[in-house]
Amino acid sequence: MKIISKNWNKMDPLKIDSYVKNGGYEALRKVIREMKREDVIAEIKLSGLRGRGGAGFPTGEKWELAAKTKSPENFFICNLDESEPGVYKDRTIAKKNPHQIIEGLLIGAYAIGAKHAYIYINGHYQKPAEILEIALNQAREKEFVGGGIMGSPVDVEIQIFQGAGAYICGEETALIDTIEGKRGEPRLKPPYPPVSGLFGKPTAVNNAETLANVPYIIRRGAKVFSQIGSSVSPGTKLFVLEGAVKNRGIFEAPTGTTIQELVFNSIYGGGVEKGKDLWFVQIGGASGRLVSPAKMDQPLVYGAGDCPLGCGSVLVVDKSADPKDLLFAWADFFHRESCGKCVPCREGTFRLWEIAKRLKNNDLQKIDRENIEEILWTLSNTSFCPLGSFASVAWTDAIKMFEKEIFR
């Protein structure tokens, strides 16, 4: 079952006609000609679509809140910041089929009544940004974007905003702050962005993959979509398989697919690489949990289960990997990317990084072991935003699972 990657091989990303020929912008036409704003939101709510960026918040509810908040102006933002290590699904959508994101964004902007929309793209994604810019210009020429879309009185202007390399800017309030010309430091929630977001106006922020699902839902109806995959969070998901797995790359699978199936089924991972011995799997990038082979039969869904699906990366680690290197890589990443706003995260990630360095150099001191536990607890319980608790997830799991190997 494919929704997002269905036409990737047939499509020329630089030509809008190849998208239109495959049913592109039909959903936008339907929405503008036949549907009221409330109907669009109701349809998305009915479909059960949840955010594909990691948190899995119901998309329809977010739109409804942004549409209901009274304000002279509101905004829609497509989050294409994607900086979780090990994920490149949004980059791939932008490169293979940019119009799918643009169409989803236009429908979303129409639904909440936003005249201005932004695509916030990771500063390192130069090529995808250029492709999106070309796609936008073509869509503008065809009157899909800009003033008076398809001859209707609906205006939606889309602007591409390029970031400059900061993991935290994938967090929606930090992202909004960057557009406002402020340091990307998360805001206190509530108020949530759909109530008070960009420039204090109601703002819906959706991940690019989430938006890429929207045209399909409108075209085929919410009922069809809601029957795909798991009933908790229907639809498909782009999974990124990497590490010691035979077939690496992006695979689209229905939600609710088990980790076991993703790694071993020949249409996805095709098993562990020859001569390698499976050790564990990490789901969802550097902030993801570790799963031992015995627990790999759990389905990956949003909003249920004890292993969050996150952004959809599946890193297969074999026994030749050194846990100390992995621990250092995680600690180094979060220490570098902590924005510095709150003390637990700023100091906690720094101290954890120091300990990781000592661990790597086999120079661990006695007190470090106690400190690790204290730091991990503080990070996960007292940080201002999720980055702090993310920093502790993989470490906590690693210490639980292979304490002996680490502190040998």
Partner 1 sequence: MSLQKILLKHEPKPENLLKVLKEIQKENKYIGKKECEKVAEYFSLPLARVFSFASFFDEVETRKGGKKIIKVCSGGPCLMEDSREVVRQIELHLRIEAGNDAHPKYKLEFISCRGLCDQGPVVMVDDQVFERVRPEDVDDIIRNYL
Binding interface with partner 1 (CB under 8 A):
82-88, 91, 122-125, 161-167, 178-184, 240, 242-244, 248-249, 282, 285-286, 313, 315, 317, 321-322, 325-326, 329-330, 332-333, 336-337, 339
Q: List, as one string, the DSSP characters of 203-245.
A: EEEEEHHHHHHHHHHHHH-HHHHHTSS-SSS-SEEEEEEEESB
Q: Give the residue from 76, 56, 40 showing the smallest Cα distance to 210.
A: 56
Residue type, position 265, single letter: N
Whole-number minimum distance, CB 86 to partner 1, in Å? 5
Euclidean distance between CA atoms 218 and 150, whole angstroms: 17
Q: Which is nearer to partner 1, 166 or 301 (CB)?
A: 166
Whole-number minimum distance, CB 368 to partner 1, in Å? 19
Cis omega (within 30 of 0) on the bond before 190?
A: yes
Question: Two tokens at 146?
Answer: 């800009």
Whole-number minimum distance, CB 285 to partner 1, in Å? 8
Euclidean distance between CA atoms 54 and 307, whole angstroms: 12
Q: Which is nearer to partner 1, 18 or 162 (CB)?
A: 162
Whole-number minimum distance, CB 63 to partner 1, in Å? 23
Whole-number minimum distance, CB 43 to partner 1, in Å? 31
Q: Which is nearer to partner 1, 35 or 101 (CB)?
A: 101
Whole-number minimum distance, CB 321 to partner 1, in Å? 7
- Give the Å distances, CA to CA, from 211 to 7, 253, 265, 273, 312: 16, 17, 28, 34, 16
**Which residues share a beta bridge with 243?**
316
Q: In this structure, are residues 87 and 333 in contact, taking their beta carbons and an 8 Å threshold?
A: no
Whole-number minimum distance, CB 317 to partner 1, in Å? 7
Whole-number minimum distance, CB 240 to partner 1, in Å? 7
Q: Which is nearer to partner 1, 147 or 165 (CB)?
A: 165
- Give the Å distances, CA to CA, from 378 to 168, 373, 397: 19, 9, 15
Q: Which is nearer to partner 1, 126 or 381 (CB)?
A: 126
Euclidean distance between CA atoms 303 and 291, whole angstroms: 18
Which residues, at least 6 apart from 385, have a Cβ–Cβ distance to it below 8 Å? 168, 171, 174, 186, 341, 342, 345
Q: Which is nearer to partner 1, 227 or 361 (CB)?
A: 361
Q: Which is nearer to partner 1, 145 or 326 (CB)?
A: 326
Q: Which is nearer to partner 1, 85 or 191 (CB)?
A: 85
Whole-number minimum distance, CB 124 to partner 1, in Å? 5
**Which residues share a beta bridge with 294?**
none
Q: Which is nearer to partner 1, 198 or 296 (CB)?
A: 198
Angle at 288 between CA 386 and CA 321, to 5 degrees: 140
**Which residues share a beta bridge with 116?**
75, 157
Whole-number minimum distance, CB 167 to partner 1, in Å? 6
Q: In this structure, are residues 197 and 76 in contact, taking their beta carbons and an 8 Å threshold?
A: no
Q: Which is nearer to partner 1, 195 or 329 (CB)?
A: 329
3-state secondary structure 341-393: CCHHHHHHHHHHHHHHHHHHCCCCCHHHHHHHHHHHHHHHHHCCCHHHHHHHH
Euclidean distance between CA atoms 226 and 285, whole angstroms: 27
